[in-house]
Amino acid sequence: MDNLFNRKKHNFIYKTFLCTTAFLIMVTSLPVRADAETVDYAALAQERKALPIQSNDIANWPEGPEVSAESAIVMEAETGTILYAKNIHEELYPASTTKIMTCLLAVENASLNDNITFSHDAVFSVPNDGSSIGMDVGESITLEQALYGIMVGSANEVANAVAEHVSGSIDDFVTLMNDRAKELGCTNTHFANTNGLQNDNHYTSVYDLALISKEFFNNDLLCKVGNTPRYHFEPTSTQPDDFYLNNKHKLITGEIAYEGIVGGKTGYTDQARETLVTCAEKNGMKLVCVVFKEESPTQFTDTVTLFDYAFNNFHLVNVANEETRYMPDDSLFFESDHDVFGKSGTILKLDDSSVIVLPKTSQISEADYEVTYDLSDEERAKYPTGIAKVNYTYHDVGIGNAMICYSLSVSESSAETNTPTIRPFYINVKILFIVAAVFVIIMTIIGTSSSKTVRSRKGISKSDRVRYNRRKREFNKSSKKFKF
């Protein structure tokens, strides 16, 4: 029996050895498949770096730097002016920068104190290896905490839970995302989920995402959330864990120092590669930079390069202070520094806050302009006294606009109802005296002429009066003769 057992044991070992050897031979004989580890991403990045930069084709435009992103944009947030453009309308995968739209819709459609409860679908519809903060089914956090979970921790399940809270279902929220994108002017965008997980039907362009981000960074709360390097989740009765979230955006954490950072969001999938949105502000100019399809860490260093290019070469110009070409000069009659009533206003004026963007080497006189009276409802609401808009271009590139308004102001008493109140203006006294004197002279001439006419009518000769009276008497006698 021992010998039989030993033989079976040896046979088992031998057969196992043979099977293992055969398996290894079969595996090693298979063709090698190129996967993420074998692709030369450095070479691809170098090829992308050589792609043309469309903004460099603009006459007298500052030459922009080469970056290794597939597409990149720098947009001035106040005017929407595109300062740097490289394949800005190419449809690419945004990865987790999608969550900028998710958070924007959250604050537009819900309250910060709302409780966000995690459903089974919200938690388990995302892959295990995706970004999450470990929320369990049935747990809940406030919407404000959820915003930090999405922007700082890039939590996929939190984005889903917020979507369900806002729209009732993830699908309905995705519809809301696409509708809002169209409202903001996006033409190369289609969202398929709330978080940017890879989907062939989930794409946007750096231009479209810059439009969305411009709206995002116009909200003070979202700027605060989007510029948080580290966030502490403390345990509550509906969420028992105590933990910290660390932002991966190196310009936000300070790992790469840059002055004036307002906020941003990172993103990554194997197909999208590195994506990054960043906002920075200096000298009153707020810029949004978006780069798609980069390799780490150049998404950060290229963003710094693009910010330096934009801040060093462009500046905001206040139109009301600089423009002298088209506004009517009514100051002679309606305004005077030496008026006895003090300095008075004009009938029309340029809105004091209207700005355009120009290269630092150019003047406003070099820009072309077009006046239009077709104002949108949004513009009429923002400028209740506006009557026309001036669109500015520089070598066919839109650089902003200015609003022409009546000289009206909103009084404190009517500010809540947005009812305009006319600001009084005073006529120059010297000019008024001159006009009055001319009027008196004209009226004197007219009066003299009229009196001569009257006198000429009254100046009837004596013989004419005698003849008239005789005929009148003869007529009366004839009337009596024929009376019945």
Could you tell me if 260 and 333 lie in one domain? no
Please tell me the number of Cα atoms within 13 Å of 240 on its side-chain side.
3
Q: What is the mean pLDDT of residues 465-471?
A: 62
- Residue 208 sits in a domain whose CATH number is 3.40.710.10
Residue whose C-alpha is closest to residue 389's, from 363, 366, 410, 369: 369
Chain segment 372-403, per-residue pLDDT in tens = 988 888 888 888 888 899 999 999 999 999 99
Residue 438 is assigned to a structural domain of this protein = no
Question: What tokens were used for 220?
Answer: 């003070």
Burial of 273 (0-12, 13-18, 19+ CB in 10 A): buried
Average pLDDT for 73-77: 98
pLDDT at position 14: 42
Same domain flag for 246 and 197: yes
Q: Residue 484 domain-assigned?
A: no
pLDDT for the residue numbered 292: 98
Predicted local distance difference test score (pLDDT) of residue 465: 62
Taking a C-beta distance cutoff of 8 angstroms, is the pair 335, 109 a contact? no
- Do 182 and 256 lie in a common domain? yes
Catalytic residue check, 131: no
Q: What is the pTM of this model?
A: 0.76
Q: What is the pLDDT of residue 440?
A: 64
Both 389 and 247 in a single domain? Answer: no
Tokens of 434: 């001159």
**Cα maximum dimension of the chain:** 180
230 vs 406: CA distance, rounded Å:
48
What is the reported pLDDT for 382? 86
Range name among 47-51, 297-301, 401-405, 419-423 with the lowest pLDDT average = 419-423
Residue where one domain finishes, among candidates 285, 313, 341: 313
Does 481 score more than 50 pLDDT? no
Catalytic residue at 154?
yes
Residues 332 and 196 in one domain: no
Would you say residue 346 lies in a domain? yes
Over residues 319-357, the pLDDT tens digits come to 999 988 876 554 443 343 444 334 444 678 888 899 999
The arithmetic mean of pLDDT across residues 86-94, rounded, is: 98
Are 308 and 369 contained in the same domain?
Answer: no
Q: What is the dihedral of CA 21, 24, 28, 33, to 10 degrees?
A: 170
Query: Is 109 a member of any domain?
Result: yes
- The pLDDT, as a whole number, for residue 23 is 46
Q: So what's the pLDDT on residue 295?
A: 97
Residue 91 has pLDDT above 80, yes or no: yes
Of 422, 438, 457, the residue at which a domain comes to its end is 422
CA–chain centroid gap for 300, Å, is 23
Last residue of a domain, one of 295, 313, 331: 313
- pLDDT tens by residue, 164-178: 999 999 999 999 999
Query: Could you say which of 99, 250, 286, 389 is catalytic?
Result: 99
pLDDT at 69: 98
Q: What's the pLDDT at 129?
A: 80
Residue 412 confidence (pLDDT) above 80: no
Q: 16 in a domain, yes or no? A: no
Given the residues 68, 71, 96, 132, the one annotated as active site: 96
User: What is the chain's alpha carbon radius of gyration, rounded to the nearest angstrom?
Assistant: 39
Predicted pLDDT of residue 326 = 74
The residue behind tokens 């077709």 is 374
Closest CA to 251 of 273, 279, 272: 279
Q: Which residues are annotated as a binding site for substrate?
A: 265
- Asked if the structure places residue 17 within a domain, the reply is no
- Per-residue pLDDT, averaged over 49-66, amounts to 97
**Same domain? 184 vs 278:** yes
Q: Is the dihedral of CA 302, 307, 308, 312 positive or negative?
A: positive
Structure confidence at residue 335 (pLDDT): 43
* Residues 184-200, mean pLDDT to the nearest whole number: 97
**pLDDT above 50 for 308:** yes
Same domain, 80 and 182: yes
How many whole angstroms separate alpha carbon 348 and alpha carbon 329? 9
pLDDT of residue 346: 61
User: Which of 68, 132, 154, 167 does the annotation list as catalytic?
Assistant: 154
pLDDT at 476 over 90: no
What is the per-residue pLDDT for 340? 38
Which range among 30-44, 178-192, 287-301, 425-439 shows the weakest confidence by mean pLDDT? 425-439
Residue tagged 């398996």 (tokens): 23
What's the whole-number mean pLDDT along residues 34-41? 71
Q: In the prediction, which pLDDT does 86 show?
A: 98
Q: What gap in Å lies between CA 427 and CA 406, rounded to an integer?
A: 17
Q: Is the residue at 7 inside a domain?
A: no
Q: Is it the case that residue 428 has pLDDT exceeding 80?
A: no
Binding residues: 265
pLDDT mean over 148-167: 98
Q: 299 falls in which pLDDT band (50, 70, 90)?
A: very high
For residue 190, what are the β-bridge partners? Answer: 203
Please state the domain count of the chain. 2
- The domain of 413 spans 323-422
pLDDT for 5: 37
Q: Mean pLDDT, to the nearest integer, of 126-143?
A: 93
Same domain, 166 and 290: yes
3-state secondary structure the chain: CHHHHHHHHHHHHHHHHHHHHHHHHHHHHCCCCCCCCCCCHHHHHHHHHCCCCHHHHCCCCCCCCCCCCCEEEEEECCCCCEEEEECCCCCECCHHHHHHHHHHHHHHHCCCCCEEECCHHHHHCCCCCCCCCCCCCCCEEEHHHHHHHHHCCCCHHHHHHHHHHHHCCHHHHHHHHHHHHHHCCCCCCECCCCCCCCCCCCEECHHHHHHHHHHHCCCHHHHHHHCCCEEEECCCCCCCCCEEEECCCHHHHCCCCCCCEEEEEEEEECCCEEEEEEEEEECCEEEEEEEEEECCCHHHHHHHHHHHHHHHHEEEEEHHHHCCCCCCCCHHHHCCCCCCCCCCCCCEEECCCCEEEEECCCCHHHCEEEEECCCCHHHHHHCCCEEEEEEEEECCEEEEEEEEEECEECCCCCCCCCCCEECCCCCCHHHHHHHHHHHHHHHHHHHHHHHHHHHHHHCCCHHHHHHHHHHHHHHHHHHHHCCC
Q: Are residues 76 and 195 in the same domain?
A: yes
| Residue 263 placed within a domain | yes
Torsion sign over Cα 409, 415, 419, 421: negative
Average the pLDDT over 104-131 and give the result: 94
Phi-psi region of 286 (alpha: psi -120 to 50; beta: other; left: phi over 0): beta
Mean pLDDT in the chain? 83
Q: Give the model's confidence band at 18: pLDDT under 50 very low, under 70 low, under 90 confident, else very high.
A: very low
Band the pLDDT of 48: cuts 50, 70, 90: very high
Quick one: pLDDT band at residue 461, thresholds 50, 70, 90?
A: low
Q: Which amino acid does the sequence have at 375?
A: L
- pLDDT above 90 covers a percentage of the chain that reads 64
Could you read off the pLDDT of 250-263 as tens digits, one per residue? 999 999 999 999 99
pLDDT of residue 369: 93
Are 123 and 203 members of one domain?
A: yes
How far is the C-alpha of 87 from the C-alpha of 397, rounded, in Å? 16
Domain shared by 238 and 344, yes or no: no
Residue 291, pLDDT score: 98
Which one has a higher pLDDT value, 142 or 127? 142
Looking at residue 410, its pLDDT comes to 41
